[in-house]
Amino acid sequence: MPHTFDLRLATLRAAYREGRATPRRLIAELRDRAAALNPDYHLFIHLLTPAELEPYLAALDGRSPDELPLYGIPFAIKDNIDLAGIPTTAACPAFAYVPEASASLVQRLVELGAVPLGKTNLDQFATGLNGTRSPYGECRNSVLPDYPSGGSSAGSSLAVALGVASFALGTDTAGSGRVPAALNNLVGLKPSKGLLSNHGLVPACRTLDCISYFTATAAEASELLALTARHDPRDAYSRANPAWNDGSAFGTPRPFRFGVPRAQDLEFFGCTQGPALFARAIEQLRGIGGTPLEVDFSPFLEAARLLYEGPWVAERYSVAGELIERDPNAVLPVIRAVLEKAPGASAVQLFRAQYRLQELKAHCDAIMAELDCMLTPTIGRPVPLAELHAEPVLRNAELGYYTNFMNLLDYAALALPSAFMANGLPWGLTLFGRVFSDQYLLGLGDALQRASELPLVGGNTLAGPAPKAPARNDHARLVVCGAHLDGLALNGQLRQRGARLLQATHSAPAYRLYALAGGPPLRPGMLRVAEGGVAIEVEVWELPSAELGSFLTGIPAPLGLGKVELADGSWETGFICDAWGLAGAEDISACGGWRAWLASRG
């Protein structure tokens, strides 16, 4: 039976502002709903009692949504992430401890006004992608009871899909934040490594772990990321978020290029609907301005195999190994089976695997440098519970085919709902991109959700205007009009910085073009004028944002970078000239562009 609800951030804010709801009433209702659902779905390991909830609710007294961006927003926490005073179990009772302080990310969310509802179930020690590997009960799918929720962030996905939390924290080392999203019609953001603090997280693989978000929409994930992505000195693996990946980078995509695996690299494990659903996803990306490019996906897949077939399994063993050696029965047999080869891994094997991984990353990075993102299915085939019970290791491994490489290669990834299968089960796609392209991917995800008009969890639809600003990634656009044009004297300054030509076009008819005095090299100056302007031939280039600073500091006076209006009415960063620099300059506007003027000189 479908669950109907609307706990989206904007919906709750409006209800609070209009007095139709209060945090106390809402949280009490959601706690009752979660308690009623738990016997069937096993989504919570610990549901906070009214007394445990009271400090969080009391902190909101006298406050409002205008003061706190997440005022009264209910959220759930995967039970390998600390919440002060509440046991952290990692789904292993013998491992449990009670932390004195909350994880950095949890504390940040509470400071923003969010209210934790409880600690959610997971595959033990976050080792699994299916949601059945827990002594606290199997987590079944929110839509079809014969299928799993997906894992390891099983309960967190169910908390959002079943309508007891607006968002939930999961973790994602090998796909644990993406597989459950695909199986439950959710958005699953696996951020760039280090973007969200891991302080207070029980690690699976500390060098690879990411805390992830489950939401109904990409826009909500964007907002949450913008509020919480910051460097944390308490986490040695924390990284600062570059300015190009802040909240303003979320927007409507401009034409973009996306990679698609070759046919021989795609694997659907016998799912007859998979190929058609993926073909449909490709067309969905075309529909929002994307151009598909086929790529060799084999190096990504080889990197994926290193995670469990290589020595990285020893990193997981470093967390649970002492307990296994002391009390083997405290750990589920399937988890012991996964980790049992870890003690035999040697330092030599690890270094050799790292060398191979670096070779693969160099290959994959070269592929990604030519793309704005890559598109894959999130999973090849949904696996019924009966098959998972019969072949738990094999079927779990199949679920990670498109996910296991992501953190080894240091990419950002976003799982999105894409369709419903014939039996009603959600089917999802994944977009992934270069590190710190998170907000750009979320902008693409928002456009896809709007274009597909797919029902959201709770039976809602995505309404409201699309973002006005363009989606922005780790590259900046630059308009050139002179010696930096393709093939001319200074064009090498762009190409050596990894720039590529996007288009040859014209400025708006509002500029005059001058050949400046001096040289070599000969240089033009383009000046915006109130009257008598003409359209000037220009080119739009794209270069890595990290290279823009060095390029800017090398521009000599009277030239500089400012905003240039193009023929289509858009404004881009480009070359402009200070009026004082026109002394002795020749007005060459009649030529219509720098190339034409150079040609006229013979």
Annotated catalytic residues are 78, 152, 176
Q: To which residue do tokens 């939401």 refer?
A: 215
At residue 413, φ and ψ (nearest 5 deg) are -145, 150
Nearest Cα neighbor of 167 from 66, 77, 79, 248 is: 77
| Beta strands 559-565; 571-577: pairing state | antiparallel
Looking at 146-297, list the stretches that DSSP marks H as alpha helix, in order from N- to C-terminal side.
Answer: 154-161, 179-183, 218-228, 274-287
Query: For residues 308 and 312, what is the distance between their CA atoms, to the nearest angstrom?
Result: 7
Nearest Cα neighbor of 522 from 564, 488, 554, 560 is: 488
Query: For residues 551 and 494, what is the distance between their CA atoms, to the nearest angstrom?
Result: 8
At residue 303, φ and ψ (nearest 5 deg) are -60, -40
Torsion of CA 356, 188, 431, 425, to 10 degrees: 110
| Beta strands 115-120; 500-506: pairing state | unpaired
CB atoms within 10 A of CB 141: 25
Nearest Cα neighbor of 249 from 73, 450, 376, 412 is: 412
| C-alpha 262 chain-centroid distance | 23
Q: What DSSP assignment string belongs to 22-86? A: -HHHHHHHHHHHHHHHHHHH--EEEEPPHHHHHHHHHTTTT--TTT-TTTT-EEEEETTB-BTTB
End-to-end CA distance of the chain: 78
The residue count of the chain comes to: 602
Looking at residue 414, its amino acid is L
CB atoms within 10 A of CB 542: 18
Torsion of CA 348, 350, 351, 357, to 10 degrees: 150
CB atoms within 10 A of CB 82: 26
| Beta strands 412-420; 187-190: pairing state | antiparallel
Q: What DSSP assignment string belongs to 427-446? A: EEEEEEESTT-HHHHHHHHH
Looking at residue 208, its amino acid is L
Within 13 Å, how many C-alpha atoms sit on residue 318's CB side?
Answer: 12
CA distances from 161 to 4, 6, 158, 270, 492 (A): 10, 11, 5, 27, 52
